[in-house]
């Protein structure tokens, strides 16, 4: 087990976690605590993924699909839950936005680019890709209706009619219901709608159940600790680097949370397994929209700090454009490195725009 | 002929029509008149469809396609014409919106859901579906340009420049022209672009021409009478249930008008004829955008109560999202019940949002 | 060479150029100067295309693809550069908008319509078409982010935060980078992503290199002269016909600049070569978004009259709707004349709307 963990070079970043603890003890208020805590979270997302996958293999296809579908974005979820408890609502919504656009533009773009280098073009299974991207689109539509409702009728985000909280809550419940449906489907049809079922099916050894549970528990616990440190020390880091909470959520937190998807998708693309790469990127986004985001809304209502689904107008636009772009790009079932470069260009321009959004807008 | 009519269980609701007359005579002002008139309209849409189809069969493929294309949404059109004459312009525009989103999300969603239960997935003919959905998209774009023009340039629906009425009128004329083109195409190529030509081709007996004309005439007449009652008694019902005219138009009227499409699409889906189910839902929406809506605009100008194509911002958003969602969903040529559940979820969230729109917004 | 030029009936309009010079000398201020200069520009775009193509044939596939990709929209670029130097920023942005929607709705619509007449339907290569339209979508997204950013956050185009100029400049640089990538791709993979490589491969004689360079140089020079006249005499013509600068840019200038694409696409469609027709229309639009527009931004900053990518809200909507419509229409790989009629209808309605936009909005 330890050999498997040590074999992945990115896991060396796990050693940065104790550094963040030392810094937090020695130099409270230093922006370096935020940076080291961020860095240590990158391999932790992969660790949770490893534990889940090992448990899924032991559990058989039906329960395995269920586990993969539930823990697929566990790291993002944990970071967001911690941020929510500390009242950083804007950060949470920004990280949802960033996770969706990051998976669709950055992860997919990098996969197309790296996979396409030295090849004239690559092909992938078109039906699977458009099917997942349709699920993603429906999830995203349901997710943004409250904010669109507010914008369309009141023309601004300043007006926050009381109906909006109720609409957000109901939307979250309906979305969770639809997601529960997809879990039942995954269980009965033994086919995960969001991730390919054979993902990493035969690489590496199989852990014992105890070891798998242990890795999963340790990963979850450490992720929670590091997320607490990250959120708690964000303020001085923001002040130091001149970033807004929006920018950190959309770009930094999303990059951390999606690191595992990045690694899997890009290596799959390099091996010319584009169907897998596309499914990882698009499926992960769909899961954010259908499960992570509504779960966070429900949790926020449960702890009495209601978070409505009131994304800001530019967040909605960025999400909408990314989802449409992905649908276009996967329809032809073909990619090349220029298409990847273009996806990365759109991501870069959006990231710049988020950087330029005035603080507090 | 009567046996055919009696054999459809939904036609029992025809008996509710006399009840609405009795209530209108006995207890004027009762919200029950609105409810019974609404219920009686559900089978009437089917009756007009039956008469049209029988006449179409006698008329041969060319004229048959023409008839089906013209009377395909006759019930929606009649209800809207009556509402327009009574000055309920908002109701008419809301019912156009509701017809489009209802066909695309509710009818198609229910067809996917009911058809997919107990099946791993269902397939349909992708080219036909995307062809019809492209027609739908073009129709919808042309339909909403006036409102988008107003919103984009003035930022609100309060500003109603005089150019808007002229733009709406010209848009309606151009749309009707394009629709006339599609009728000529249906006539010459013997292929209806909006509905499958073999819809219900060999079920049941063939009526005599007189009987078919009789059913069509009786259905049209009764629909007009019940629509008059429905529109005339709407006010007390709105007050009683706390609904806005917008909500009644988008949800209630659209449900009534689309009942026939619902029944046909869902039964087709259950029989695993998904190509037919998709064509009914998408084709009917396209016909609303390309024929019913512009015909209503022209009529409104003719009777001197001009209705511009100025949908409210949330109506446009709902239409746009539904049309895009449909395009995504039909691109892969594959459906399952989870996809149906998701379409229904989006419909439910939109319906809730329309419920929350403040009265008069 | 002269025979080739004389054989195209549209080149008779070249004789109108001296007429515009005579008018400019004899009756300064006459709106006829604008009209004759406009008319003379139509064949000039074709002349540059002829010179490029001939040079490309001599240069071999790699450099040929490079040349075609660079000079593909040379006429549009020259007119816009001249307008930019004279400070007509709104005209330039309007002509970018008009070029994109004109290619997608008018050129493609006419190709579908003319090609489809007398045929039941026509088919084209779906993968190539959706691939190009995905490139187009990504380019357009990157292009409109600055304006969307402004609209989404400030709700109007009146607010012009200083960040916007920087965002426009960076977007232009990133877009040019992506376009440079596509040129490298065209060079190495010998496949132009925006235009079919076998376009007009074996029609007509091959010019000598000197003749080809001569035609290209003469075309470029004459285009510059006529563009100067057109821009310089626009004011009296606007006043005479009651057109706004926006309308002239979106409709008139775009029509002139796209005349060559029009001719090629429609004649290809008539010969039932729909793959070629679609590629010309969609590829030319993509090139406008990815190369012509950002090149103009960079030039504007270089000459110290910065043009931001701040399109007005209706321009963005029109571009977005056109691009989406095209994606829908090409997904099925099938067209008929009614679909062409519908594309033309959308163009006509948009043109009307642009006509109704109040001057200076």
Burial class (CB in 10 A: 0-12, 13-18, 19+), B355: middle
Cα dist from A135 to A163, A279, B82, C138, whole Å: 27, 12, 39, 21
* Whether pLDDT at B6 is above 80: no
For residue B159, what pLDDT is reported? 57
Please give the Cα distance from B311 to B146 (Å, whole number): 9
* Whether pLDDT at A88 is above 70: yes
Neighbours of chain C (3+ CB pairs under 8 A): A, B
Please give the Cα distance from C306 to B63 (Å, whole number): 60
Segment A303-323 shows an average pLDDT of 88
For residue A83, the distance in angstroms to the closest alpha carbon of chain B comes to 27
For residue A159, what pLDDT is reported? 57
For residue C57, what pLDDT is reported? 79
Contact A135 B345 (CB under 8 A): no
| CA neighbours closer than 13 Å in the CB half-sphere of residue C354 | 29
| Bridge partner residues of B123 (DSSP) | B334
Secondary structure (3-state) at B307? coil
* Whether pLDDT at C199 is above 60: no
For residue C160, what pLDDT is reported? 65
C-side interface with A, Cβ within 8 Å? 126-127, 130-131, 133-135, 137-139, 141-142, 145-146, 148-149, 151-153, 155, 161, 163-164, 166-167, 170-171, 174-175, 177-178, 181-182, 185, 189, 191, 193, 324, 327, 331
Q: Which residue has the higher pLDDT, B175 or C197?
A: B175
Q: Which residues of B124-147 are buried (b: 16+ CB within 10 A; e: fewer)?
A: bbbebbbbbbbbbbbbbbbbbbbb
DSSP string for residues in B170-223: HHHHHHHHHHHHHHHHHHHH---SSS-TTTTTTSSPPPPHHHHHHHHHHHHHHH
For residue B65, what pLDDT is reported? 67
A-side interface with B, Cβ within 8 Å? 126-127, 130-131, 133-135, 137-139, 141-142, 145-146, 148-149, 151-153, 155, 161, 163-164, 166-167, 170-171, 174-175, 177-178, 181-182, 185, 189, 191, 193, 324, 327, 331
Among C81, C134, C76, smallest CA distance to C100 is for: C76
* Whether pLDDT at A360 is above 90: no
B-side interface with A, Cβ within 8 Å? 120, 155-156, 312-314, 316-317, 321, 324-325, 328-329, 331-334, 336-339, 341-343, 345-346, 348-350, 352-353, 356-358, 361
Hey, which bits of chain B come out as E strands? Answer: 122-123, 334-335
Contact A316 C152 (CB under 8 A): yes
Segment B346-358 shows an average pLDDT of 91
Q: Scanning every residue of chain B, which has its alpha carbon at the shortest distance from the alpha carbon of A193?
A: B338
> Using CB atoms, which residue from B138, B152, B185 is nearest to C325?
B138
For residue C204, the distance in angstroms to the closest alpha carbon of chain A comes to 31
| Bridge partner residues of B334 (DSSP) | B123
For residue B275, the distance in angstroms to the closest alpha carbon of chain C comes to 15
Q: Which residue has the higher pLDDT, C104 or A185?
A: C104
Q: Which of A224-228, B203-207, C65-69 has the highest mean pLDDT?
A: A224-228
Segment A132-140 shows an average pLDDT of 87
Radius of gyration from C-alpha coordinates of chain B = 20
Segment C333-344 shows an average pLDDT of 91
Answer yes or no: are the C-beta atoms of A54 and A211 closer than 8 Å: yes
B-side interface with C, Cβ within 8 Å? 126-127, 130-131, 133-135, 137-139, 141-142, 145-146, 148-149, 151-153, 155, 161, 163-164, 166-167, 170-171, 174-175, 177-178, 181-182, 185, 189, 191, 193, 324, 327, 331
pLDDT tens string C114-158: 999 988 889 998 877 888 888 888 888 888 888 888 877 776 555
Q: Scanning every residue of chain B, which has its alpha carbon at the shortest distance from the alpha carbon of A149?
A: B314
Contact C155 B153 (CB under 8 A): no
Q: Which residues of A178-195 are buried (b: 16+ CB within 10 A; e: fewer)?
A: bbebbbebbbebeebbbb
Q: Scanning every residue of chain C, which has its alpha carbon at the shortest distance from the alpha carbon of B127?
A: C332
pLDDT band at A192 (very low <50, low <70, confident <90, very high): low
Secondary structure (3-state) at C308? coil
Report the sign of the C-alpha dihedral through residues C303, C305, C306, C307, in that order.
negative
Q: Give the helix, strand, coil percentages of chain A, each rounded to 5.
A: 80, 0, 20
Which residues on B lie below 8 Å from A181 (Cβ)?
337-338, 341-342
pLDDT tens string B238-277: 888 888 889 999 998 988 888 878 888 898 999 999 988 8
pLDDT tens string B289-338: 999 999 999 999 999 888 888 888 889 889 999 999 998 888 888 899 99
* Whether pLDDT at C200 is above 60: no
* Whether pLDDT at C361 is above 60: no
Residue A27 has what DSSP assignment?
S
pLDDT band at A105 (very low <50, low <70, confident <90, very high): very high
Q: Which helix (H) or strand (E) holds B21?
A: helix B16-26
For residue C52, what pLDDT is reported? 84
For residue A346, what pLDDT is reported? 93
Complex ipTM = 0.86
Torsion-angle region of residue A29: left (phi > 0), alpha (psi -120 to 50) or beta? left
Contact C152 A343 (CB under 8 A): no
With a pLDDT cut of 70, the percent of chain A lying above it is 92
For residue C33, what pLDDT is reported? 92
Q: Which helix (H) or strand (E) holds A123?
A: strand A122-123
Segment C35-44 shows an average pLDDT of 90
Q: Which residue has the higher pLDDT, C158 or A322?
A: A322
Contact B178 C312 (CB under 8 A): no
> Using CB atoms, which residue from B120, B312, B353 is nearest to A145?
B353
Q: Give the helix, strand, coil percentages of chain B, each rounded to 5.
A: 80, 0, 20
Contact C346 B138 (CB under 8 A): yes
Segment C216-240 shows an average pLDDT of 90
pLDDT band at B229 (very low <50, low <70, confident <90, very high): very high
Contact A174 B120 (CB under 8 A): no
Contact A139 B333 (CB under 8 A): no
Please list, in sequence order, all residues whose beta carbon lies within 8 angstroms of the beta carbon of residue C92, skipping any fewer than 6 positions away: C80, C83, C84, C249, C296, C307
Contact C332 B139 (CB under 8 A): no
For residue C173, what pLDDT is reported? 94
Answer yes or no: are the C-beta atoms of B42 and B16 closer than 8 Å: no
* Whether pLDDT at A269 is above 60: yes
Secondary structure (3-state) at A334? strand
For residue B68, the distance in angstroms to the closest alpha carbon of chain A comes to 31
Answer yes or no: are the C-beta atoms of A106 and A340 closer than 8 Å: no
For residue C168, the distance in angstroms to the closest alpha carbon of chain A comes to 9
Give the pairing of strands C334-335 and C122-123. Answer: antiparallel
For residue C360, what pLDDT is reported? 62
Q: To 10 degrees, what angle do helices B108-116 and B337-356 make? A: 150
Segment C187-213 shows an average pLDDT of 69
* Whether pLDDT at B187 is above 80: no
* Whether pLDDT at B281 is above 70: yes
Segment B225-242 shows an average pLDDT of 89
Please give the Cα distance from A48 to A38 (Å, whole number): 16
pLDDT tens string B30-42: 889 999 999 999 8
Contact B181 C357 (CB under 8 A): no
Among B39, B97, B140, smallest CA distance to B354 is for: B97
* Whether pLDDT at B157 is above 60: no
DSSP string for residues in B246-289: HHIIIIIIHHHHTHHHHHHHHHHHHTT-HHHHHHHHHHHHHHII
Secondary structure (3-state) at C213? helix
Please list, in sequence order, all residues whose beta carbon lies within 8 angstroms of the beta carbon of residue C22, skipping any fewer than 6 positions away: none
Which residues on A lie below 8 Å from C175 (Cβ)?
345
pLDDT tens string A205-244: 778 888 888 998 999 999 999 999 999 998 888 888 888 8
For residue A341, the distance in angstroms to the closest alpha carbon of chain C comes to 6
Contact C131 A332 (CB under 8 A): yes
Segment A26-35 shows an average pLDDT of 88
DSSP string for residues in C255-274: HHHTHHHHHHHHHHHHTT-H
Radius of gyration from C-alpha coordinates of chain A = 20
Secondary structure (3-state) at C196? coil
* Whether pLDDT at A356 is above 90: no
pLDDT tens string B79-138: 999 999 998 988 999 999 999 999 999 999 999 999 999 888 899 988 778 888 888 888
* Whether pLDDT at C106 is above 90: yes
Hey, which bits of chain C come out as E strands? Answer: 122-123, 334-335
Segment A33-49 shows an average pLDDT of 89
């Amino acid at each position: 087990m330890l050999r498997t963990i040590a074999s992945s070079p990115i896991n060396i970043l796990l050693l940065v976690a104790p550094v963040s603890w030392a810094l937090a003890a020695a130099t409270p208020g230093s922006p370096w605590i935020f940076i080291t805590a961020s860095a240590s979270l990158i391999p932790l997302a992969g660790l949770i993924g490893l534990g889940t996958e090992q448990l899924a293999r032991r559990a058989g296809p039906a329960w395995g699909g269920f586990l993969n579908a539930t823990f697929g974005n566990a790291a993002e979820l944990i970071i967001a839950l911690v941020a929510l408890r500390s009242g950083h609502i804007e950060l949470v919504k920004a990280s949802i936005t960033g996770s969706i656009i990051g998976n669709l533009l950055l992860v997919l773009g990098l996969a197309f680019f790296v996979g396409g280098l030295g090849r004239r073009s690559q092909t992938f299974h078109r039906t699977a890709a458009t099917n997942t991207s349709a699920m993603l689109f429906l999830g995203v539509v349901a997710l943004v209706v409250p904010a669109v409702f507010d914008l369309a009728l009141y023309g601004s985000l300043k007006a926050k009619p009381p109906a909006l909280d109720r609409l957000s809550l109901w939307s979250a419940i309906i979305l969770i219901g639809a997601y529960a449906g997809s879990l039942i489907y995954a269980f009965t049809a033994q086919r995960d709608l969001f991730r390919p079922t054979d993902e990493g099916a035969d690489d590496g050894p199989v852990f014992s159940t105890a070891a798998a549970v242990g890795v999963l528990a340790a990963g979850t616990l450490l992720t929670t600790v590091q997320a607490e440190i990250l959120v708690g020390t964000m303020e001085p880091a923001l002040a130091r680097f001149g970033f807004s909470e929006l920018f950190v959520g959309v770009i930094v937190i999303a990059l951390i949370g999606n690191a595992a998807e990045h690694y899997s998708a890009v290596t799959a693309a390099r091996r010319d397994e584009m169907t897998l790469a596309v499914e990882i990127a698009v499926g992960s986004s769909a899961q954010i929209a259908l499960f992570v985001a509504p779960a966070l809304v429900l949790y926020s209502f449960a702890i009495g700090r209601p978070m409505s689904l009131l994304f800001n107008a530019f967040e909605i636009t960025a999400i909408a454009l990314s989802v449409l772009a992905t649908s276009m790009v996967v329809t032809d079932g073909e990619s090349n490195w220029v298409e990847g470069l273009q996806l990365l260009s759109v991501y870069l321009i959006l990231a710049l725009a988020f950087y330029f959004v005035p603080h507090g807008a």
